[in-house]
Amino acid sequence: SAGRVVVVGGGFGGAACARALKRADARLLVTLIEPNKTYISCPFSNEVIAGLREIDAQQFGYDRLGAAGITVVAQAATAIDAQKRRVTTGDGTEFGYDRLVLSPGIDFHLDALPGYDEAASETMPHAWNAGAQTLLLRRQLEAMPDGGTVAIAIPANPSRCPPAPYERAGLIAHYLKTKKPRSKVLILDAKDTFSLQRLFEQAWKELYGDMIERVALSQGGRVTSIDAATRTIVTEFGNYTPDVANVIPPRAGRIAGVAGVADATGWCPIDPVTFESKLVKNVHVIGDACLGGGIPKSASAASAQGKAGASAIVSLLAGSTPEAPRLTGVCYSTVAPGYGFSLAGNYQPRGDIFAEVEGGATSPVDAPRELRAREAAEAERWFQTITAETFG
């Protein structure tokens, strides 16, 4: 064979990488380790929370990756021996590699937010991994009486998909306006400014009046602890006990810590040309888990990184020097059915991170509703394309 590559994590980054590796060189032995038989997509899961979409539309299997010649192992990676270049899975099987790719996405760090743990997430869902959490938040919204308050606690950056909490606020407001019009959305934010802020604020005002209230960092909006027993959110300013509490904690992938590729922040520093870890040789980190600098943590970025990482690995295995990648990412936000906007960017390695370069575009702030409608339709097409490319 041309080499053995093991990919851990079959999400937007890992699955795209495994496919690109096999496509680049069919002789490569590519193994994808992913415990779930079904991947549940976060993009468009805010629509599920708002009752606009069913969870089935978010689910994808790995059959097509198997058919492409990738060995798919339905186990979690539990240990990595970088010296011996070996990954161990939950059932004790060992997989040797020449190059290892980690795309584990994000996970909980129990110490990230005092009082917030796995058990707390059962009453105060984060819904920041799609699936049971998404449905739990949806059920809580459905059960809430009219006139209630839904709080959304948003972490500082770097975080997964920076515009997504604000998209969620809009879609929840849409649900409430339709079903429970006396209710409110309260955003408790660890940031002062956020991605696409003017577009979001304009859309909120236009669509939902004063239904959405945001407490920014400088107003004391940063959440400092949680008391799950009383469903209390403690911020720098004061305490809140909303009817529904969506708490999004800061975090990065757990296996990255096990592998020794995460630094003190929990994220993984890489060489942006090859995605190889700065801390452990022959291990590459892509997607949300890596420290990408200017590139937002999104499915489109993870996918672009997966493909660029695959190409770099093919070069390295052949003994040649990888070329610096130019990555493109586009992120759509939908604030109501038929109302969307986007942020597209191009990114290139600069020092240890990715920096944004020319050619990016953000939707205009003052635009007719037809443009918003067109972008909402484009968002759906984007989803169909990326999921077909990754899993289909």
State phi, psi for 243 to the nearest 5 degrees. Answer: -70, -40
Site for ligand FAD in 155-184 (CB under 6 A): 160-161, 164
For residue 342, give the H/E element and its range.
Answer: strand 339-350
String of DSSP letters for 279-311: SSTTEEE-GGGB--BTS-B-HHHHHHHHHHHHH
Cα Rg, the chain, nearest whole Å: 21
Size of the site for ligand FAD (CB under 6 A): 37
Pair of tokens at residue 111: 């110490």
Read off the amino acid at residue 75. Q
Q: Strand 184-189 vs strand 283-285: parallel, antiparallel, or unpaired? A: unpaired
Residue 334 CB, nearest approach to ligand FAD (Å): 8
Alpha-carbon torsion angle 70, 16, 110, 163, nearest 10: -160
Stretch that binds ligand FAD, among 5-13, 55-63, 220-228, 368-376 (CB under 6 A): 5-13
User: Residue 86 and residue 135: Cα distance in Å, rounded?
Assistant: 37
Contact mark string toward ligand FAD, 81..110, x via CB under 6 A: ----------------------xxx-----
Stretch that binds ligand FAD, among 33-41, 177-185, 231-239, 270-278 (CB under 6 A): 33-41
User: Residue 207 and residue 202: Cα distance in Å, rounded?
Assistant: 9
- If one asks whether residue 276 binds ligand FAD (CB under 6 A), the answer comes out as no
Question: Quick one: 11 or 170, whose CB is closer to ligand FAD?
Answer: 11
Stretch that binds ligand FAD, among 61-69, 260-268, 292-300, 309-317 (CB under 6 A): 292-300
Q: How many residues does the chain have?
A: 392
Q: Is 226 helix (H, G, I), strand (E, B) or coil?
A: strand
- If one asks whether residue 12 binds ligand FAD (CB under 6 A), the answer comes out as yes
Residue 62 CB, nearest approach to ligand FAD (Å): 10
Q: Beta-carbon neighbour count of residue 156 at 10 Å?
A: 12
- If one asks whether residue 14 binds ligand FAD (CB under 6 A), the answer comes out as yes
> Cis link prior to 158 (omega < 30° from 0)?
yes
- If one asks whether residue 126 binds ligand FAD (CB under 6 A), the answer comes out as no
Site for ligand FAD in 294-313 (CB under 6 A): 297-300, 302
- If one asks whether residue 287 binds ligand FAD (CB under 6 A), the answer comes out as yes
Residue 239 CB, nearest approach to ligand FAD (Å): 26
Binding site for ligand FAD (CB under 6 A): 8-14, 33-36, 39, 42-43, 45-46, 76-77, 103-105, 128, 160-161, 164, 253, 255, 287-289, 297-300, 302, 331-332
